Amino acid sequence: MITQQRTIGKPVSDSGTGLHTGNKVTITFWPAEPNTGIRFVRTDIENCPEIQADIDHVVDNSRDTTIGIGDVRIRQVEHVLAALYGMEIDNVRVEVDSNEPPVGDGSAMPFVKILQEAGIVEQDAERQYLEIDETITYTDPENGIDMVVFPSDELRITFMVDYKNPALGTQYTSMYSLSDEFVTDYAPTRTFCFLTEVEMLHDKGLIQGGNLDNAVVIVDREVSTEEMAGLTKRFGLKGEVSVGHHGEILGNKELRFANEPVRHKTLDLIGDLALLGVPLKAHVMAARSGHAAHVELVKKIRQLYQKKKLTSKYQKKPTKRGVIFDSEAIARILPHRYPFLLVDRIIELDPGTRVVGLKNVTMNEPFFPGHFPDHPVMPGVLQLECMAQAGAVLLLNSLEDPESKIAYFMTIDKVRFRKPVVPGDQLILDITLLRQRASSCKMACKAFVDDELVCESELMCAIVDRE
């Protein structure tokens, strides 16, 4: 297992044609400092904007993986990312002078070859892995997609495709070791599509740089000699292209592997997993998935990664099962102190999305003697304060330096007190982030006692620097 971060030894370049635009494009890989990650740079645009290759910058995943920032886009980055991830390279700058890398032969192998030419250099920084310790699932019943992530000591992938189209049918592959199998068994696999898809994509102005040298085209309908002549002219194919029959490869091209299509789907998945921004230790099982499903799965894995980072930062000792942050960790997160630190535990956390906290209401609370004598009831304003304190945990992963910030109430809306909260109750605080900006956030808040709603509200807070 690699223990140090890695980059390349020298700049290397390759030139070719973009698959969709047909534009001439040059790609250059540059060494980068530790913890840089993978960054794409558009050198054909003024000021050469940079785009971090991570899940936060994915702007389209319909036919390929496109990343962007503002109006700047780079599409079909998955093969470049797969080459870098498969060769276990952590830090590199990728310069392109168009909106997509060169397609090469439709595989990741051209990128692998020039990266091998550049050489790999270990850096003076430890390589951090995301180790999966719980099962993560993603399913899309409408499209028959299922994905499951299990714990594993290294990245393993099992992939199955089961197209209704008999031209391809069912295929299966399993990669047990990224370092041993990627370059030889997966990097050379080419992108594939059905003939009917090719025609549809071309009609939409896409795949202008596509040809039989950079894609495997599977014939999914009978093609006559006359039609083949028309297709040859339409796509600018050179020479005589033989008529393919149903289930054959157009032009009688040979597959590099008997199951090359499903291996290429695995290659795409590896490239999309690179969007995590951290190497993964897990066994990923995928059935009939594509870029859109991969991105959704990466988002779920990324939430786990963010939770692990927050836990390791604030929770300094092991906790009981079902506890994310104990009272000591909460004191590290929040500026409040006795008698106004009102949250005892955080028991669920989806960073940037939802948090569930717990407040044990005891007779020893300092407000009960005055609210009210002989009839203790927790003040409603303090229930709202409990919600706000639990909600502050949601901001941890989105603020650059959360310890230097503090939140002030701006508005409190839609408040409903459903039932009195009394000594002996345990408040469960369920907070969902509705909207966040650099200087404010809005949260939907609910508080329960014994599964019964006792209070709800919408809170808006201003985020300011601590003095």
Same domain, 132 and 168: yes
Q: 46 with 53: CB under 8 angstroms?
A: no
Residue of 57, 202, 336, 371 with catalytic role: 371
Query: Residue 292 sits in which domain range?
Result: 4-189+261-308
Percentage of the chain lying above the pLDDT 90 cut: 70
More confidently predicted of 237 and 135: 135
User: What angle, rounded to 10 degrees, do the helices at 109-118 and 78-86 form?
Assistant: 50
One domain, residues 355 and 265: no
Kindly indicate the confidence band of residue 233, based on its pLDDT and cuts at 50, 70 and 90: low
Say if residue 29 is preceded by a cis peptide, omega within 30 of 0: no
Q: At CA 199, angle to CA 197 and CA 201, rounded to 5? A: 65
Q: Please give the torsion angle defined by the CA atoms of residues 100, 103, 104 and 105, in that order, rounded to the nearest 10 degrees.
A: 170
Mean pLDDT of 224-241: 64
Please give the mean pLDDT across all residues of the chain: 91
Q: Is the pLDDT assigned to residue 92 strictly greater than 90?
A: yes
- Residue of 290, 271, 269, 286 whose CA lies nearest to 61: 290
33 with 178, same domain: the answer is yes
**Nearest Cα residue to 246 out of 196, 287, 283:** 196
Residue 28 has pLDDT above 90, yes or no: yes
- Domain shared by 170 and 229, yes or no: no
Q: Which two tokens stand for residue 105?
A: 């032969």
Residue 413: enclosing H or E segment and its boundaries? Answer: strand 405-417
* pLDDT band (50, 70, 90) for residue 234: low
Distance CA(60)–CA(134), nearest Å, equals 29
Q: Which residue has the tokens 């070791």?
A: 177
Based on the domain organization, do 166 and 245 belong to the same domain? Answer: no
What pLDDT is attached to residue 198? 74
What span, in angstroms and rounded, lies between the C-alpha atoms of 441 and 398? 11
Whole-number Å distance between alpha carbons of 48 and 34: 21
- List all residues 6 or more positions away from 246 whose beta carbon is below 8 Å from its beta carbon: 166, 167, 219, 220, 221, 222
Pair 131, 273 in one domain: yes
- The CATH number given to whatever domain includes residue 381 is 3.10.129.10
225/369 same-domain check: no
**Confidence (pLDDT) at 238:** 57
- 201 and 95 in a single domain? The answer is no
The C-alpha atoms of residue 61 and residue 69 are separated, in whole angstroms, by 15
**68 — pLDDT class (breaks 50, 70, 90):** very high
* Residue 296 belongs to domain with CATH number: 3.30.230.20
Q: Taking the CA atoms of 129, 134, 135 and 136 in sequence, report the sign of the dihedral they define.
A: negative
Last residue of a domain, one of 243, 276, 308: 308
Q: How far is CA 207 from CA 80, 154, 367, in A?
A: 18, 36, 69
Q: How many domains does the chain have?
A: 3
Residue 75's pLDDT is 94
Concerning whether 57 is annotated as a catalytic residue, the answer is: no
Q: Which of 202, 291, 294, 336 is catalytic?
A: 291
Q: Element (H or E) spanning 346, and its range? A: strand 345-350
Rounded CA-CA distance 384/120 in Å is: 54
Structure confidence at residue 164 (pLDDT): 72
Boundary residue ending a domain (273, 308, 343): 308
Q: How far apart are CA 209 and CA 25, in angstroms?
A: 11
Is residue 25 within 8 Å of 97, Cβ to Cβ? yes
Shared-domain flag, residues 59 and 208: no
Q: Is 410 exposed, middle or buried (0-12, 13-18, 19+ CB in 10 A)?
A: middle
Which residues does 372 contact at the CB level (< 8 Å), separation at least 6? none
* Residue 354 pLDDT: 94
Is residue 204 located within the same domain as residue 154? no
Put the strands of the sheet holding 440-449 in their side by side order: 345-350, 354-360, 426-436, 440-449, 452-465, 405-417
Could you tell me which of 264, 219, 218, 211 has the C-alpha nearest to residue 238? 211
DSSP character at residue 73:
E
The reply to whether 245 belongs to the active site is no
Could you report the per-residue pLDDT of 174-184, keeping only the tens digit for each? 999 999 999 99
In this structure, the answer to whether residues 434 and 324 fall within a common structural domain is yes
Q: Considering the entire predicted model, what is its pTM?
A: 0.83
Are 104 and 228 in the same domain?
A: no
The Cα–Cα gap between 95 and 27 comes to: 6
Which of these three, 286, 308, 330, is where a domain ends? 308
Q: Is the pLDDT of residue 240 over 60?
A: no
